[in-house]
C-alpha cells in the first residue's frame, strides 16, 4: 500500500507543478503578446515602432541628414490660384480641379539639402486680417495675383502694399498668375497696376508670369520656375 500511496502523492505534486508552470506561461504570454489579436496595434507594429525609435536615438550626430528649414508664406486674394500653385510646385501630377483653401494649406519641399515649408493662408476677406501675423516667421513672401481679374486688382494692390508696410525687408515674389487666359495682363502691365516700381530699390523683388495648370508646366509660364527661384534664394540665406 505504501508504494501506491507514494505514487499518488508524486502524481499530485507533478500535477501541481505543471499547473503552476502553465499559469506562469499564460501570464507571460498575456504580458508580451497581449496585442497580437488587436487589429489596430499588433505586437509586430509595437516592436517596429520601438525599434525605429531606438534607431533614431542611437544614430550618431554625424550620420543624421543636415538640412535647413525655411518657411515661404503664400498669400493673395481668393481665387488667385494659390492652391493650384502649391499643388504643382510640390507635384507635377495632373489634377483636374483643386478646391479653394478655406483656411490654411501647406506643402513641404525637399531640395538641395533644404526643407521648405510653403504655407498658404486663405484669401477671403475675413482671413486677410490675419495675414500680417505670419510675416515674422517667413523667409520669403509669395503674393499671387489673378492677372485676368482686372476689377479686383485695386484690392490686390492695397492688400499687398499693406503687407509690405509691415515688413520692409522681406524678399518678395509676385506671381502674375493665369497667363493662360487671353484677358490676363502682361507682367509689364501688372507691374504698373500694382504700383511695384518703388520696390526695385527697397527689397529683393521678383515678378514672374505663371500658369498654374498641368498644361502650363512645360511652358515659359511654368510654376516650376517659382520652385527653382525659391531654392536659389533660400540657399543664399
> Residues of the chain with pLDDT > 70: what percent?
68
Mean pLDDT is lowest, of 19-23, 170-174, 187-191, for 19-23
Cα of 87 vs its chain's centroid, Å: 11
Q: Give the pLDDT band of residue 3 (cuts 50, 70, 90).
A: low
| Mutual angle of helices 82-90 and 224-235, in 10-degree steps | 70
Do 114 and 234 meet the contact criterion of CB atoms below 8 Å apart? yes
Strands 140-146 and 172-177, by their bridges, are: parallel
Would you kindly state where each structural domain of the chain is located, as residue ranges? 2-58, 68-235
How far apart are the C-alpha atoms of 184 and 92, rounded to whole Å? Answer: 23
- Mean pLDDT of the 26-33 span: 40
Per-residue pLDDT, 9: 54
Q: Long-range contacts made by residues 202-205, C-beta under 8 angstroms, separation at least 24?
A: 202/168, 203/164, 203/168, 203/169, 203/170, 203/171, 203/172, 204/171, 204/172, 204/233, 205/171, 205/172, 205/173, 205/174
How far, CA to CA in Å, does 178 sit from each of 68, 77, 89, 150? 32, 13, 15, 12
Q: Are 185 and 150 within 8 A, CB to CB?
A: yes
Q: How confident is the model at residue 15 (pLDDT cuts 50, 70, 90)?
A: low
Query: What's the rounded mean pLDDT across residues 151-162?
Result: 98
The predicted model scores a pTM of 0.71
Average of per-residue pLDDT across 86-106: 78
DSSP label at residue 66: P
> Which triple of cell numbers denotes residue 103?
483656411
- Tell me: pLDDT of 19 over 90: no
Specify the fold of 68-235.
Rossmann fold (3.40.50)
pLDDT in tens, 39-60: 333 433 443 444 444 334 433 4
List pLDDT tens digits, range 56-82: 443 344 443 445 799 999 999 999 999
Of 29 and 132, more confident: 132
Give the percent of the chain with pLDDT over 90.
59
Q: Among the residues of the chain, which ranges form H helices? A: 2-33, 43-58, 82-90, 125-128, 153-166, 187-193, 224-235
pLDDT at 96: 60
Contact in structure between 216 and 180 (CB atoms under 8 Å): yes
Task: Kindly tell me if the per-residue pLDDT of 218 is higher than 80.
Answer: yes
Amino acid at each position: 500500500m505504501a508504494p501506491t500511496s507514494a505514487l499518488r502523492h508524486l502524481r499530485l505534486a507533478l500535477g501541481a507543478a505543471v499547473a503552476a508552470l502553465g499559469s506562469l506561461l499564460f501570464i507571460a504570454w498575456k504580458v508580451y503578446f497581449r496585442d497580437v489579436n488587436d487589429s489596430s496595434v499588433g505586437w509586430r507594429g509595437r516592436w517596429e515602432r520601438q525599434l525605429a525609435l531606438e534607431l533614431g536615438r542611437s544614430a550618431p550626430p554625424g550620420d543624421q541628414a543636415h538640412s535647413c528649414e525655411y518657411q515661404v508664406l503664400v498669400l493673395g486674394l481668393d481665387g488667385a490660384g494659390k492652391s493650384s500653385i502649391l499643388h504643382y510646385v510640390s507635384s507635377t501630377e495632373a489634377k483636374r480641379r483643386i478646391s479653394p483653401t478655406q483656411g490654411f494649406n501647406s506643402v513641404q519641399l525637399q531640395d538641395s539639402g533644404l526643407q521648405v515649408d510653403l504655407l498658404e493662408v486663405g484669401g477671403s476677406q475675413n482671413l486677410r486680417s490675419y495675414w500680417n501675423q505670419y510675416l515674422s516667421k517667413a523667409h520669403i513672401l509669395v503674393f499671387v495675383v489673378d492677372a485676368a481679374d482686372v476689377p479686383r486688382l485695386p484690392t490686390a494692390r492695397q492688400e499687398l502694399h499693406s503687407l509690405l508696410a509691415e515688413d520692409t525687408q522681406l524678399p518678395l515674389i509676385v506671381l502674375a498668375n493665369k497667363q493662360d487666359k487671353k484677358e490676363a495682363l502682361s507682367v509689364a502691365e501688372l507691374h504698373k497696376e500694382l504700383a511695384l516700381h518703388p520696390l526695385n530699390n527697397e527689397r529683393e523683388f521678383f515678378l514672374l508670369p505663371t500658369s498654374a495648370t498641368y498644361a502650363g508646366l512645360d511652358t515659359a509660364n511654368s510654376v516650376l520656375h517659382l520652385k527653382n527661384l525659391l531654392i536659389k534664394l533660400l540657399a543664399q540665406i
